[in-house]
């Protein structure tokens, strides 16, 4: 599944972050110090080397740094392995032990990694299916999932939503059936033809995709095109920071057509068994995260241009999980 803007690729290349048969290599550490907050020093983790990985898009980097900040406050020696290029490379790094912990998405695990073709529409059921299957097949443990769900949706401007009384995708379908002239969509090329994209969602919600006026854009351009009124409905990812920055309204997928992509911490079962304190540290953080929160953090990076590590640290400080060391 394509995601938000990819950053730090040049930095990774310059410092030798390599996905190869020899594994991943980096000497990165967190670029700042943090002190305990509600997360206190944990004797069992003091000085423990923990390699934290992430994929190469903004949201996953922010989540990776959140884990790094938490573990550093607990006393672990964090090895920063964020910005691994591609889901498969990140996954392989976890399987081979190049990293000890990363965040992944339940829909990605179920479909891309475990090879299933039919997503499970219920978030909890999808998580439980991935959790059980991945542990049995690969020895990977998915910790309890967060409310962060980075899936597909349609977005509209606030004015258009208000004028047409739109809150759900069912509302959208009813509108375009009754007023075909309003069926103007901004979509990316791949989404137009995929069964889990536009044809599928049209069939599920009962409107005619063939009669819609479709404008094709790159993923990033769709947000501005929708905000600028070039289309009435734009295909978006639900946690993208540009939704917030451009004041768009996300329509609820009330029939749960799109796969669920809840973010979860994933680690090897042997690491989890040896260091159960890690899951205890991460649990209250996971409970605090939701789409509104991560959307705001993503916007700080992609819209405001802030460094994802600093964005993660500052959120952890605001929430009281960690503190800044004395000057």
For 80-95, the DSSP string reads EEEEESSHHHHHHHHH
Domain boundary residue among 250, 279, 307?
250
Domain-embedded: residue 4: no
Structural domains of the chain, count: 2
Domain-embedded: residue 1: no
Dihedral sign from CA coordinates of 212, 216, 219, 220: negative
CATH number of the domain enclosing 124: 3.40.190.10
Is 285 in the same domain as 137? yes
Is 291 in the same domain as 168? no
Is 123 in the same domain as 270? yes
With a cut of 50, list the residues of the chain below it in pLDDT: 1-23, 27
Q: What is the pLDDT of residue 227?
A: 97
For 255-319, the DSSP string reads T--SPP-BEEEEEEHHHHHH-THHHHHHHHHHHH--HHHHHHHHHHHHTT---HHHHHHHHHHHT
Q: What is the domain extent for residue 164? A: 152-250
Is 29 in the same domain as 110? yes
CATH number of the domain enclosing 231: 3.40.190.120
Short-list 108, 102, 115, 112, CA closest to 141: 102
For the stretch 45-85, pLDDT in tens is 999 999 999 999 999 999 999 999 999 999 999 999 999 99
Backbone angles phi, psi at 216, to 5 degrees: -100, 130
Is 138 in the same domain as 166? no
Per DSSP, helices labelled H in the chain are: 9-14, 58-73, 87-96, 106-107, 123-138, 158-164, 169-178, 189-193, 198-205, 219-227, 241-245, 269-274, 277-288, 291-302, 308-318
- Dist CA 14 CA 253 (whole Å): 42
Domain-embedded: residue 2: no
Domain-embedded: residue 52: yes
Short-list 151, 140, 177, CA closest to 265: 140
Query: Which H helix or E strand runs over 249?
Result: strand 248-250
Q: What is the pLDDT of residue 235?
A: 97
Q: What is the pLDDT of residue 321?
A: 98
Is 190 in the same domain as 234? yes
For the stretch 118-155, pLDDT in tens is 889 999 999 999 999 999 999 999 999 999 999 999 99
Domain-embedded: residue 256: no
* Angle between helix 308-318 and 291-302 (nearest 10): 140
- Dist CA 122 CA 238 (whole Å): 17
Is 166 in the same domain as 96? no
Q: What is the pLDDT of residue 327?
A: 79
Is 87 in the same domain as 126? yes
Is 80 in the same domain as 97? yes
Is 67 in the same domain as 198? no
Task: Retrieve residue 305's tokens.
Answer: 């241009």
Is 58 in the same domain as 199? no
Domain-embedded: residue 108: yes
Domain boundary residue among 250, 275, 290?
250
Instruction: Give the Cβ contact number of residue 280 at 10 Å.
Output: 12
Q: What is the pLDDT of residue 26?
A: 52
Is 131 in the same domain as 278? yes
* Angle between helix 58-73 and 291-302 (nearest 10): 100
The CA dihedral of 166, 287, 260, 110, to the nearest 10 degrees, is 180
């Amino acid at each position: 599944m394509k995601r938000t803007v990819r950053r730090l690729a040049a930095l990774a290349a310059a410092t030798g972050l390599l996905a190869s048969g020899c594994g991943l290599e980096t000497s990165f550490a967190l670029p700042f110090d943090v002190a305990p907050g509600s997360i206190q020093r944990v004797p069992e983790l003091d000085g423990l080397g923990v390699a934290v990985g992430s994929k190469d898009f903004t949201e996953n980097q922010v989540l990776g740094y959140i884990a790094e900040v938490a573990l550093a406050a607990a006393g672990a020696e964090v090895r920063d392995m964020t910005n691994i290029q591609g889901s498969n490379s990140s996954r392989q790094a976890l399987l081979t032990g190049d990293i000890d912990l990363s965040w992944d998405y339940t829909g990605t695990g179920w479909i891309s990694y475990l090879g299933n073709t039919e997503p499970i529409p219920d978030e909890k059921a999808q998580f439980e299916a991935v959790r059980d299957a991945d542990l049995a097949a690969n020895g990977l443990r998915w910790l309890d999932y967060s409310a962060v769900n980075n899936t597909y949706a349609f977005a509209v401007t606030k004015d258009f939503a208000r004028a047409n009384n739109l809150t759900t995708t069912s509302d959208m379908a009813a509108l375009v059936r009754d007023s075909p002239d309003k069926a103007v969509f901004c979509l990316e090329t791949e989404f137009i033809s995929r069964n889990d994209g536009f044809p599928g969602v049209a069939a599920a919600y009962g409107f005619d995709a063939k009669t819609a006026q479709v404008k094709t854009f790159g993923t990033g351009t769709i947000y501005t095109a929708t905000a600028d009124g070039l289309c009435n409905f734009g295909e978006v990812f639900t946690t993208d920071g540009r939704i917030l920055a451009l004041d768009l309204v996300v329509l609820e997928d009330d029939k749960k057509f799109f796969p669920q992509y809840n973010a979860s911490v994933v680690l090897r079962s042997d690491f989890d068994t040896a260091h159960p304190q890690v899951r205890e540290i991460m649990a209250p953080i996971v409970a605090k995260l939701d789409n509104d929160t991560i959307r705001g953090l993503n916007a700080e990076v992609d819209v405001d241009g802030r460094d994802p590590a600093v964005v993660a640290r500052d959120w952890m400080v605001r929430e009281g999980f960690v503190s800044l060391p004395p000057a």
